[in-house]
Amino acid sequence: MGDMQTPEMSKRLLAEFIGTFWLVFGGCGAAIFAAGFLSTPTLGSGSPVHLGIGFLGVALAFGLTVVTMAYAVGHVSGAHFNPAVTIGVTIARRFEWKDVPGYVVAQVLGGLAAGGALWAIAGGRELFDATGNMAANGYGAHSPGGYSLVAVLCAEVLLTMFFVYVILGVTRDSAPTGFAPLAIGLCLTLIHLISIPISNTSVNPARSTGVAFFNGNGAPGQLWLFWLAPIIGAAIAGATFHLITGVDRRDRDITGQVRAEDELVPDGVDPDAPRPA
C-alpha cells in the first residue's frame, strides 16, 4: 500500500461535501417526505391510506445513503461524511489532525446545502410549514418520545461510540475486502432503529446542523448536544479501539493507505507487525 497516491485535498473535500449532502438529503428527506405519507383517494369517498415508510424506512434510507456514497467516493476521501467520525479516526491515529478542519467544514457545508434543498422542495407543497417538520434532532419537548437531555446524551454517546468501533473494525487488514460500506451502512441503520424515538438520531453533527436552522422550533438551541455527544462517543472509540481489540492499525489512515511518516520500514522488520504506541 505504500505506493498508493492520496487524492489531492480539493477532491477529498468535494467528496466529503457530496457524501454528506447525500446522507442528509436522503435520510432526512425520507423522514420529511415519506415517513408518514397518506394517499388521497381517487374514487369514492374512502379514507386516506397510510403509505408511509415509517421508522424502518427512514432507518434504511440513512443506511443506504452511507453504503452508496461509500462505494462511490470512499476511495477518494475515506467516506467519513461525519465530523464525529473524522475526529474519532483521528484520535485513533488513522487520520491527520491537519486535515480535520477542512473535512469538518466540507461536511457541515454539505449538510447545510442538503437542508436548504430539502426546505426548498418541501416548500413546494401548499400549506407546508417547515417549523418543527424538518427531521431535526432534539431532547425534552423536541424529542419524538419525550426523552430527557440526559437520556439523549447517553444514547448519542453510546451509539456514536459503537458506530466508530464498527468503522475502525471493518477497515482492518483481515476484514473481507469491499464489504466495509455494507457493514457501516447496516450499523447506521441499526442505530436509527434504536434511537429515532429517542432523539430522531444524530450520531452526526453535520446531519443535525444541516436541518436545525431550517427547522427552528428550538432545534438550533439544542444543537450543542448533537455536537458534544457524538464527538465524545467517537473520541472514546478512537482512543480505546486498539486496546479492546488488539488490532493496531494506527500507522494507516481510514482509506487503508500507509501514512507518509510510516511508509519506510527498516530491512528485516515485518511491516504488519504491531508497532509501539
Ordered domains of the chain (ranges, CATH)? 9-262 (1.20.1080.10)
pLDDT at 235 over 50: yes
CA atoms within 13 A on the CB side of 120: 7
Higher pLDDT, 250 or 193: 193
Write the DSSP string, 220-252. HHHTTHHHHHHHHHHHHHHHHHHHHH----TTB
Please say if the pLDDT value at position 260 is more than 70.
Answer: no
Distances (CA, A) of 247 to 237, 240, 250: 13, 11, 9
Residue 116 or 265, more confident: 116
Task: Return the C-alpha cell found at 185.
Answer: 451502512
- pLDDT above 70: percentage of residues in the chain: 82
- Write the pLDDT tens digit of every residue in 198-214: 999 999 999 999 999 99
Pair 167, 229: CB distance under 8 Å? no
The pLDDT value recorded for residue 194 is: 98
- pTM: predicted TM-score of the whole model, two decimal places: 0.86
Q: Which amino acid is at 149?
A: L
pLDDT in tens, 168-178: 999 766 566 68
* For residue 73, pLDDT beyond 60: yes
